[in-house]
Structure 1
Amino acid sequence: MKVVPVEEAIGLVLCHDLTKIVPGEFHGVAFKKGHIILEEDIPKMLDMGKKNIYVWEMKEGILHENEAGERMARVVAGERIIFTEPTEGKVNLSAECKGLLKVNFNALEKINMIDEAMVATMHTDIVVDKGTVVAATRIIPLFIDEAKIQQIDNICKEEGPIVWVASLKAMKVGIITTGSEVYSGRITDKFGPVIRKKIDEVGSKVIKQIIVSDSEDMIVDAINELLSMGAEMIVVTGGMSVDPDDVTPAGIKKAGAKIISYGAPVLPGAMFLMAYMGNVPVLGLPGCVMYNKRTVFDLMLPKIVAGERIKREDITKLGHGGLCTNCSVCNFPTCGFGKW
């Protein structure tokens, strides 16, 4: 560091805090270490009795925390991500719109292995609203070797951005409600309203709900009817256990669907079924979806409306974090459920 007259310090970096004292009014830091001195700062510093100040001697190949934080933000930000101006080296990255947050966590770990730099994110695969802060960057010291920031640039060039938001598609959804007790009118359907609410939450629309008895053939006919109406997703509720009259999995299979997984390492939701009729996802939902606030359905639905084709490994990996603890106050998705 070096000492310079205050009038000659414009554009230089302050290397220590400057304290201001106004008896009875203020006592604290007026200018923080690392502050880049502006022209309008000069009169204020002179008023504080500062004729000379200590500043950092900038060297080629060394970056100030603000420049480093902004450069990191630019390369880690993907589609539908915006970021703030740096404040004391920290840059916040936010969702430009509502959608499914995606995090390239393998590349993220590589970045955080680089000494003196860091990127922190929210969990991948959660729905975020417009304006939600989803990540932040900064360096640990006040200055950093530019070569380290270049390493981050290279990682992102090779492996893509670290965070982005996948837009949610407005899908046409068909519901099939199974159960002789509902079909006969003995009890009122309480499953449909729950599904409709969750479909609405992700910006999609239910085009029709069909109530059928515990019959494989009726399930087949209902699936075909919904497909003919242009359904882009079919949700089949009830009849997912191993009781003899629970025929939903058999009906879905009989309709010609390819079963991706029957069963999921998630509680609530172990009896979940994932299948496809061509490109149309068919979901078999266990009864817990009707009465538990959050279940496997809340983990899979956003991925589907974000355009992802679900694979078996997408379901099997849910075991780590797949146990809902039924908190008295539910903070999903900002909790551990479904996170790994």
Structure 2
Amino acid sequence: MNFGATPLEEAEGAILAHTIRLKGRVIKKGTALDAEAIVALRAEGHGSVIAARLARGEIPEDEAADRLAEALRGALLARSRAATGRVNLMAEAAGLLVLDAARIDRINQMDESLTVATLPNHTPVSAKEMVATIKVIPFASPGAVLQLAETIAKGSRPPIAVHPFRPLKVGLVLTELPGIKESVMEGTIEATRARVEALHGSLLPVRRTPHEEHAAAAALRALLKEGAEMLLLIGASAVVDRRDTGPAAIIRAGGAIAHFGMPVDPGNLLCLGSVGAVPSIVLPGCARSPKLNGFDWVLQRLFAGIAVTPRDIMAMGVGGLLKEIETRPLPRGEAPKVPPPPNAPRRARKIAALVLAAGRSRRMAPLNKLLVRDTKGTPMVARVVDRVLESQAHPIIVVTGHEHEAVQAALAGRRVAFIHAEDFAEGLSASLKAGLAAIPPDADGVLVCLGDMPLISAAMLDKLLAAFDPEEGRAIVMPTYRGKQGNPMLWSREFIPAMLAITGDVGARHLAGQHADRMVEVEMPDDAVLRDFDTVAELATAPGVFPARG
């Protein structure tokens, strides 16, 4: 292609590079100049123009874009007419966009004149939505380059296609354990129904069974008799092994497990199997939420008639970190109008910490156990607060009551806030409620620490924080040692209203039993999470930490 300043006497047939405005006329860029245009330009004093003249074998931009679009276009794709070297491809029906990324990359890497831009592979699209654009960058493409690009595009299957969603009948089994709230079960059903119907499917009457292998298997077989073309099972507790209750139920129903786990978060604990030709999935706990997770990616492919293999799941890791991506779970029309800056840091969860230090220390009277000093001279409550300050939790709120002035003095100079529980004598719940009332409104959760557990380490606290993930079903985090449950516990703020309703000399531990489906236990390396100190004799069991006589 010859490009540059061209005298008017040589410009007929050349392609104008930049729009020129004349009196009563506009000659747009890309126009092939004819004799009439040359006369008009000369009449207004132009002696030359910036233009391009095609060389032998070069294909004009619109023709090149038209030919490449036809070679790329697969099933259920409409196209625009070629204009300014561009053709757009649009979906003709709702479905999943399926690309051959390797071939599209080859075309984009051949020559700077040809470009193909698409939505990401396996994006769900609606009818009339644009999925790709083909653009010829200069005014022409070399004919040999275009011919090779067409050959690459015309492989065994088109590089760009839409696989329509099929109206599948889906069976759902929910297993139950005592204490699971009805609202949790109903929310799970509605979230699943919304997913299925969004993909043009329908949900068969839901089966609810005890969290037992035999019962769940019987429910799966019953749904198959009702015509289920896909089986979903979500357990009362998260599946932790391919031999756990949910996967075992699929096998007992006559099926097999193909893969457990996926490199997508949230969605790690998905289990993929089948009963005969019917896909069967044990859902991760995050599927109770309508937010995007790994289950959505598998479900979309199955509804589009695309087989999902273990290798497919293993390949989902790049781009599989879905946390804190606020716009992705939303339909396009509901996404924020102003997206966050591309390099904006993701918001980490904010976990506040309560240190309960209001107790009367009756079993160690006349001493206040919280003020007993360790071998380094540090009061017990200060030792606890120092470990919390070393953790990722913030802010730290200390609840005082009995001898509150002395407790505050023991913590002087530390970055903590103090809340005095006026009714501390009424028991532990009074201290807890006083602290909860001071939790910042932007805190995602609260770590409730006891002021008389001085052996806890910051590493233990951070281990609890790392396990916290309400979307994944880990809204309550409880430490354990050799199977025994301990403290401190971490609670999602969704439980604060229920905690504020507690009365008497009790904490919130009983709520964990009522919400077993939302709790995770974290095993600790030693028994510090089990050890509080109420008596002098108990202090003597921590040699090297407290003086022998307490």
How many Å separate the matches in 2 of 1:118 and 1:254?
52
Counterparts of 2:152 and 2:52 in 1: how far apart (Å)? 30
Larger Rg: 2
**Which position in structure 1 is the counterpart of 2:368?**
none
Candidates 175, 200, 209, aligned match of 1:212:
209
**3-state SS of paired residue (1:324):** coil
- Structure 1, unaligned runs of 5 or more: none
AA aligned to 2:89 is L
Deviation at 1:167, TM superposition (A): 1.0
Q: Which residue of 2 aligns with 1:101?
A: 97
Cα distance change on mapping 1:225 and 1:5 into 2, 3 Å: same
Question: Which position in structure 2 is the counterpart of 1:127?
Answer: 124
Q: Measured at CA, do residues 53 and 159 of structure 1 come closer, stay the same or move farther in structure 2, by a change above 3 Å?
A: farther
User: Aligned ranges for residues 86-235 of structure 1 at < 5 Å?
Assistant: 86-116=82-112, 117-181=114-178, 188-235=185-232
Residue type of the alignment partner of 2:165: L
C-alpha separation between the residues in 2 aligned to 1:56 and 1:268? 53
**CA apart distance, 1:136:** 1.2
Query: Aligned match of 1:82 in 68, 78, 83?
Result: 78
SS at match of 1:196: helix
Q: How many Å separate the matches in 1 of 2:148 and 2:192?
A: 46
CA spacing shift, 1:65–1:50, aligned 2, 3 Å: farther
Partner Cα separation in structure 2 for residue 159 and residue 231 of structure 1: 33
Question: Partner residue of 1:319?
Answer: 317
Listed one character per residue, the Cα deviations across residues 19-75 of structure 1 (whole Å, up to 9, x for unaligned) are 2166xxx9xx93343224589x85995798378875654444111111111111110
Q: Residues 13, 258 of structure 1: CA spacing in aligned structure 2 closer, same or farther, 3 A cutoff?
A: farther
Answer whether contact 2:264 2:294 (CA < 8 A) is retained: yes
Separation in 2, partners of 1:113, 1:59: 22
Equivalent residue for 2:384? none
Note if contact 1:79-1:165 (Cα within 8 Å) is conserved in structure 2: yes
Aligned-partner Cα distance in 1 for 2:39–2:234: 69
Mapped partners of 1:295, 1:247: distance in 2: 22
Within a 5 Å distance, the mapping from 1:213-292 to structure 2 comes to 213-238=210-235, 239-242=237-240, 247-291=245-289
State the AA in 2 paired with 1:89: G
Tell me the distance in 2 between the aligned counterparts of 1:51 and 1:186.
77
For 1:6-85, list aligned pairs within 5 A. 12-20=13-21, 30-36=26-32, 45=40, 49=44, 56-85=52-81
- Separation in 1 of the partners of 2:255 and 2:146? 49
What's the CA shift string for 1:208-238, capped at 9, x where partnerless? 2100111111111111101111100011112
Please give the alpha-carbon distance, in whole angstroms, between the structure 1 residues aligned to 2:14 and 2:127.
35
Deviations 1:52-106 (A, max 9, x none): 8756544441111111111111101111112112222121111111111011111
Match of 2:505 in 1: none
- AA paired with 1:254? R
What is the alpha-carbon distance in structure 2 between the residues aligned to residue 201 and residue 38 of structure 1?
A: 54
Distance in structure 2 (CA, Å) of the matches to 1:186 and 1:321: 32
Matched residue of 1:226: which SS? helix
1: distance between equivalents of 2:52 and 2:322? 51
Q: Between 271-280 and 30-39, report the one with greater CA deviation.
A: 30-39
The alpha-carbon distance between structure 1 residues 48 and 206, as it changes in their structure 2 partners (threshold 3 A), is farther
Deviations 1:257-312 (A, max 9, x none): 11111111111111101101111011111211113611111111110011122110
Q: Any stretches of 5+ residues in structure 2 without a counterpart?
A: 333-338, 343-550
Secondary structure class of the residue paired with 1:281: strand
Q: 1:330 to 1:18 in 2, by over 3 A?
A: closer
- Please give the per-residue CA displacement for 1:292-334, whole angstroms capped at 9, x wherever unaligned: 6111111111100111221101111111111113234445688
With normalisation by structure 1, the TM-score equals: 0.84
Q: Which segment drifts farther, 161-170 or 87-96?
A: 87-96
Query: How many angstroms apart in 1 are the aligned matches of 2:168 and 2:239?
Result: 28
Q: CA deviation at 1:13?
A: 4.4
What is the SS of the residue equivalent to 1:249?
Answer: helix
Give the Cα separation in 1 of the matches to 2:312 and 2:144: 37
- For residue 203 of structure 2, give the secondary structure of its aligned residue in structure 1: strand
The code of the aligned residue for 2:69 comes to: A
CA distance in 2, matches of 1:5, 1:87: 28
Cα contact 2:284–2:295 (8 A) shared by 1 = no
The alignment partner of 1:113 has SS state of: helix
Specify the code of the residue in structure 2 equivalent to 1:253: I
Between stretches 277-286 and 88-97, larger displacement belongs to 88-97
Is contact 2:88-2:132 (8 Å) kept?
A: yes
What SS does structure 1 have at the residue aligned with 2:145?
Answer: helix
Name the Cα RMSD after superposition. 3.3
1:145-199 per-position Cα deviation (integer Å, ceiling 9, x unaligned): 1000000111122353221101111001111011133899697532111000000
